[in-house]
Copies of this chain bind each other. A is one copy, B any other.
Amino acid sequence: LRVGVIGLGLIGGSVALAARERLGAHVTGFDASPEARERALARGAVDAIAPDVAGAVADADVVWVATPVGALPAAVAASLDAAGSATVVTDVGSTKRRIVAAVEDQRFVGGHPLAGAETAGIDNARADLFAGATWYLTPTERTSGILFERLHRAIVGLGAQPAAIDAAQHDAVLAAVSHLPHVVANVLVSGAAQALAAEDVRVPAAGPSFRDATRVAGASNAIWRDIYLANADALIDRIDDAIARLRDVRVALAAADGDRIAAWNDAAAGDRRALLEAQLAGGELHELRVSVPNEPGVIARIALALGRAGVNITDMALYPTADATSGLVALWIAGAEPAARAQELLGELGHPVARA
């Protein structure tokens, strides 16, 4: 496997290291910063450094574009310009609607690994950064099934768990589970600083709830300024929801309504339990063999339908028939219940399914 990596920071550097160590790939890298290029070579993250994007992409089977969100559109366009017709190009940006809407190319699949929030830079890169992490992929009707499958397998090879999701849903979900928590961490830390100053108190040590809730406060502007701007509308929806919920608690507190406070707190406990349970699905692997026609978008539809239902595709393989009019997709699903659910969903999509 030949891999190109554009942008050799924490994520790009970790992709490069993992591709070399875990996939045995030949990795060519490029970064606009001479220092990052030098460090990537010195760390053994890449086999070679190219003088530009085109050089890193030229012979690659898979290209990861791992620049900050603001620089993505240009870097993805340059990569697709230089890449061959059988190259899959993906990105690692934290928001997906803009880039997916901007790129009309069957070779492009949006991506976003949930890893690496705490540090930055090539020096913190490591081959196991993605071990066990969810890696969102946002295929569309345009996406080539063959290229999607290749990317999916490569990401499994990096140690991550790919999950297909619609780009708009991705951004709405991430606004709720990542971008709003970052905003709230900033609000808590600045509110507490102001409260302590107003009370003329230097607090000797805050409790664990404050430390946990504010760990990501003031996250790097090099990354987060662009994320906030790129997902502003979805984030505004979640901020409005949070304000409405805070107002509800305020009303109950002002009325000293203990029953309502308790019910509100119980509901949160139930929501937390439900979210945790949804994340803990797992179990032994089941193989499903799905017959599919050779038509655009069919792999994306399958992946998205299963992703939407929370069914995790642990691994995936595509076997075209000799005449290329149709093919067989093998899917490995963890857990008996998710596998049964997958079989049902695939049936609803009109695809014959066999259990291997």
A118 within 8 A of B: yes
**Interface segment, A39-47, A101-109, A145-153, A217-225?**
A217-225
A133 / chain B contacts, CB cutoff of 8 Å? 205
A212 / chain B contacts, CB cutoff of 8 Å? 181, 212-213, 215-216
A188 / chain B contacts, CB cutoff of 8 Å? 176, 180-181, 184, 242
Q: Are A195 and B213 in contact (CB under 8 A)?
A: no
Contacts A181-B210, A196-B173 hold; do A269 and B217 have CB atoms under 8 A apart?
Answer: yes
A120 within 8 A of B: no
A204 within 8 A of B: yes
A354 / chain B contacts, CB cutoff of 8 Å? none
Contacts A266-B218, A272-B218 hold; do A185 and B213 have CB atoms under 8 A apart?
Answer: yes
In chain A, positions 261-303 with a C-beta closer than 8 Å to chain B are 261-262, 264-275, 278-279, 281
A198 / chain B contacts, CB cutoff of 8 Å? 172
Contacts A206-B177, A279-B206 hold; do A268 and B190 have CB atoms under 8 A apart?
Answer: yes
Chain A interface: which size bin?
Answer: 35 or more
The closest CB in chain B to the CB of A184 belongs to B184
A214 / chain B contacts, CB cutoff of 8 Å? 181, 272
Interface residues of A (CB under 8 A from B): 114, 117-118, 133-134, 161, 163, 165, 169, 172-173, 175-178, 180-196, 198-210, 212-219, 221, 224-225, 228-229, 232, 235-236, 238-243, 245-247, 249-250, 253-254, 256, 258, 261-262, 264-275, 278-279, 281, 307-310, 312
**Supplied contacts A176-B196, A187-B242, A190-B245, 9 more A-B pairs, CB within 8 Å:** A169-B199, A178-B209, A181-B210, A185-B268, A206-B275, A218-B268, A218-B269, A225-B262, A228-B253
